[in-house]
Amino acid sequence: MSEITYLEAIREGLSEEMERDENVFCLGEDIGAYGGAFKVTDGLMEKFGESRVIDTPISEAAIIGAAAGAAHMGMRPVCEMQFIDFISCGYDILTNYVATARYRAMLPCPMVVRGPSGGYVRGGPFHSQNPEAAFLHTPGLKIVYPATASDAKGLLKSAIRDEDCVLFFEHKYLYRRIKEEMPGGDHLTPIGKARTAREGKDVSIITYAATVWKSLEAAEQLEKEDGLSVEVIDLRSIAPMDDDAIVATVRKTNRVLIVHEDTRTGGVAGEITARINELAFEWLDAPVLRVTAADVPLPYSPPLEDYVLPQTNDIVKAVRRLAAY
């Protein structure tokens, strides 16, 4: 079997699920005839027809709301946000209607909202966002953010089969930069389970999405230059969060760095820190540290973007500080 990219893995996951279950359909802007802004859905309209790969008006609230209505009736819609930045246009209906549907009205709402996320691509303030923290605060939504091609496929397939709404963030920096051979068979990655991306015993890095790769680079460098054994935990799911995996790595290394690409204040790292504080305080030998983006809208120009986003060197510096504590 040949290797496929992160982007192709998403397409393969979509295609397999649409073949498996006729209730699965896609809707979004420019996803049909054009195949999507990043070509994630390329070829799906030819394969499954216009009625299952629906080109919609520029209406994120309608895309998400219509998906909810169809999901109530037993369909399994997959919404594409052309860039995940535009999910904010559907924030109301997603948080107030979709997320509460089961709880307040016993209405099933099995649907996926997916879209290209993240920076490092010179996309500027409106084509680079990482909005996961904005939704982590809403009970009723699940959030996944894969770092590898096989997890991209496996998590998407699990998300489509989940009985609740799953936000599927896919990192556009990774779309065509990483390749992997897909596991055989009906490959499903469980939602809510973290992955150990690298085993280590001195310091733990808890991260997800593109910064998994920055953290692995840093771990490599720290092993060579400092002889440090760094463990990297790829959360994969932000909600539900794998508390067991977080606690296990804290107990193993007793020193924790949290790395994410999103801005610092109110970010996911704060939530992870609080959980460690509640669940494993006794096991800490050093304060939990964060490496995140600075609290600014993400700027466009390369020197500015590179300065704002977390880089491998930032991670190296933070791990050294933890190791020396």
Partner 1 sequence: MTETVRRKTGRSRQKEETSTSLTRDQLLELYYYMKLTRQLEERLVNLYRQTKVVGGLFRSLGQEADAVGSAYALDRSKGDILSPLIRNLGSMLVQGATPGEIIRQYMAKGDSPTRGRELNIHYGDLVRGFIGQISHLGDMVPVMAGVTLSFKMRGQDRVGLVYVGDGATSTGAFHEGINFAAVQRCPLVVIVENNGYAYSTPLSKQTAAKQLVDKAIGYGIAGDKADGNDVLATYEVTKRAVDRARAGGGVTLIELMTYRRKGHAEHDNQSYVPEGEIDRWASSNDPLDRYVRVLAENHDVSAAELGAIDDRIAQEIDRATDEAEASPMPEPGDALVGIYADPPEEKPLWFREGVRAAVDVNERPSSWGTHDV
Could you list the active site residues? Answer: 127
Closest distance to partner 1 from the beta carbon of 120 (Å): 32
32 lies in the binding site for partner 1 (CB under 8 A):
no
Closest distance to partner 1 from the beta carbon of 282 (Å): 16
The two tokens of residue 250 are 């804290």
Cα separation of 220 and 283, whole Å? Answer: 25
Among 1, 2, 57, 282, the residue binding partner 1 under the rule CB under 8 A is 57
112 lies in the binding site for partner 1 (CB under 8 A):
no
Among 13, 35, 36, 77, the residue binding partner 1 under the rule CB under 8 A is 77
Say if residues 256 and 284 touch (Cβ distance below 8 Å): yes
Helices (H), 144-285: 149-161, 211-226, 243-253, 268-280
Nearer to partner 1, 162 or 217 (CB): 162
51 lies in the binding site for partner 1 (CB under 8 A):
yes
Closest distance to partner 1 from the beta carbon of 143 (Å): 12
Nearer to partner 1, 5 or 100 (CB): 100
The two tokens of residue 277 are 């504080």
Cα separation of 209 and 212, whole Å? Answer: 6
The closest of 81, 94, 99, 72 to 38, measured between CA atoms, is 81
Rg (CA), the chain: 19
Cα separation of 144 and 164, whole Å? Answer: 13
304 lies in the binding site for partner 1 (CB under 8 A):
no
Question: Footprint of partner 1 on this chain (CB under 8 A)?
Answer: 25, 51-52, 54, 56-57, 59-75, 77, 92-93, 96-97, 100, 102-108, 139-140, 142, 162-164, 240
